[in-house]
């Protein structure tokens, strides 16, 4: 049942991707109701599948990240009408679900109630923080594409279909501001879990390094926006550089310490 529910979600995310791409390849734009209904239906099947999965291991973490990306996509469309975000979130969510299906979800984990609650809360908040960091990156990428379109005075499909620069800049700001406290709690829970249940930080050093690095990067991005008052292109470049750094450090840890951390 878990497999088929995820497979249905994967199919609907694929349809959502096609709906998002259609206007950019000369096809008619889809009604806004479809842009909301299709990913929402996929998310509903996705939630049903995840409720049967222990949030331990790479497969469940990737699946949860895909779900949060789609939920953020729907919320973004409903609140700021930034349907172009789906150009990133829908195919990425589909890819993550497909990868999770290939990796598998593993057996249920036997643990005490307190330990299970602690672990699930840590994973959920940490993955949500990463999803918001990704949303900030997507908004920044869309901002730079729209800025280039305006500067070149082409006024083509990108100008017509992308949100205004001010709206994209605001979306980037909100995603960073929401993601930082959520990720902070997730990292603190991870450190506490490692000390209390996992034998200390030495045992979970890959998680600790990556989690703290991600927290520092996101904190820096929030600092330059709120304290240094960066905006526009500088803020967009900062978000993109931060997201790229997080991915590079993840890959470095994956290659350097393979198989030592469940979520890595």
Tell me the Ramachandran region of residue 57: left when phi exceeds 0, alpha when psi lies from -120 to 50, beta otherwise: left
Task: Report the predicted TM-score, pTM, of the whole model to 2 decimal places.
Answer: 0.87
What is the predicted pLDDT for the residue at 111? Answer: 47
Q: Is the four-CA dihedral 81, 84, 88, 90 of positive or negative sign?
A: positive
Cβ contacts of 258-262, under 8 Å, gap ≥ 24: 260/205, 260/206, 261/204, 261/206, 261/207, 262/56, 262/57, 262/58
Instruction: For the chain, give every domain's residue range.
Output: 1-110, 113-264
What is the predicted pLDDT for the residue at 261? Answer: 47
Judged by average pLDDT, the poorest of 7-11, 165-169, 199-203 is 199-203
Residue 92 has pLDDT above 80, yes or no: yes
From residue 207, alpha-carbon distances to 93, 109, 199 in Å are 23, 19, 13
Per-residue pLDDT band for 38 (boundaries 50, 70, 90) equals: very high
Query: For residue range 170-204, what is the model confidence (pLDDT) as tens digits?
Result: 999 999 999 999 999 988 888 787 777 656 555 56
> How many other CB atoms are found less than 10 A from the CB of residue 72?
22
From residue 61, alpha-carbon distances to 20, 21, 51, 79 in Å are 25, 27, 13, 27
Query: For residue range 148-163, what is the model confidence (pLDDT) as tens digits?
Result: 888 877 766 666 778 8
What is the predicted pLDDT for the residue at 59? Answer: 86
160: Cβ contacts below 8 Å, ≥ 6 apart: none
Mean pLDDT throughout 61-72? 94
Per-residue pLDDT band for 260 (boundaries 50, 70, 90) equals: very low
Label each residue of the chain as H, E or C: CHHHHHHHHHHHHHHHHHHHHHHHHCCCCCCHHHHHHHHHHHHHHHHHHHCCCCCCCHHHHHHHHHHHHHHHHHHHHHHHCCHHHHHHHHHHHHHHHHHHHHHCCCCCCCCCHHHHHHHHHHHHHHHHHHHHHHHHHHHHHHHHHHHHHHHHCCCCHHHHHCCCHHHHHHHHHHHHHHHHHHHHHHHHHHHHHHHHCCCCCCCCHHHHHHHHHHHHHHHHHHHHHHCCCCCHHHHHHHHHHHHHHHHHHHHHHHHHCCCCCCCC
Residue 256 has pLDDT above 80, yes or no: no
Mean pLDDT throughout 50-58? 78
Q: For the chain, what is the mean pLDDT?
A: 84
What is the predicted pLDDT for the residue at 15? Answer: 96
Residue 134 has pLDDT above 80, yes or no: yes
Residue 118 has pLDDT above 80, yes or no: no
* Cα-only R_g, the chain: 19
What is the predicted pLDDT for the residue at 212? Answer: 84
What is the predicted pLDDT for the residue at 241? Answer: 92
Q: What angle do CA 191, 46, 240 make, to 5 degrees?
A: 55
Q: How far apart are alpha carbons 147 and 165 in whole angstroms?
A: 7
What is the predicted pLDDT for the residue at 43? Answer: 96
């Amino acid at each position: 049942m878990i497999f088929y529910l995820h497979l249905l979600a994967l199919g609907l995310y694929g349809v959502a991707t096609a709906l998002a791409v259609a206007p950019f390849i000369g096809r008619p734009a889809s009604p806004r109701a479809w842009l909301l209904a299709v990913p929402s239906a996929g998310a509903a099947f996705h939630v049903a599948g995840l409720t049967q999965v222990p949030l331990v291991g790479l497969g469940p973490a990737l699946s949860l990240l895909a779900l949060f990306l789609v939920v953020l996509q729907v919320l973004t469309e409903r609140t700021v009408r930034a349907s172009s975000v789906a150009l990133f979130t829908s195919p990425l969510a589909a890819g993550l679900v497909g990868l999770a299906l290939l990796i598998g979800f593993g057996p249920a984990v036997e643990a005490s109630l307190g330990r299970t609650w602690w672990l699930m809360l840590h994973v959920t908040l940490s993955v949500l923080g990463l999803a918001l960091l990704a949303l900030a990156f997507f908004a920044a990428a869309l901002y730079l594409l729209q800025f280039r379109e305006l500067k070149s005075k082409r006024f083509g499909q990108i100008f017509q279909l992308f949100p205004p620069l001010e709206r994209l800049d605001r979306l980037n700001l909100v995603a960073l501001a929401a993601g930082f406290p959520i990720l902070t709690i997730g990292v603190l829970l991870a450190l506490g879990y490692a000390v209390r249940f996992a034998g200390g930080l030495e045992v979970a050093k890959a998680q600790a390094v990556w989690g703290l690095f991600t927290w520092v990067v996101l904190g820096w991005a929030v600092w330059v926006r709120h304290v240094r008052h960066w905006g526009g292109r500088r803020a967009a470049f900062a978000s993109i550089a931060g997201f790229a750094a997080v991915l590079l450090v993840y890959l470095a840890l994956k290659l350097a310490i393979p198989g030592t951390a469940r979520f890595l």
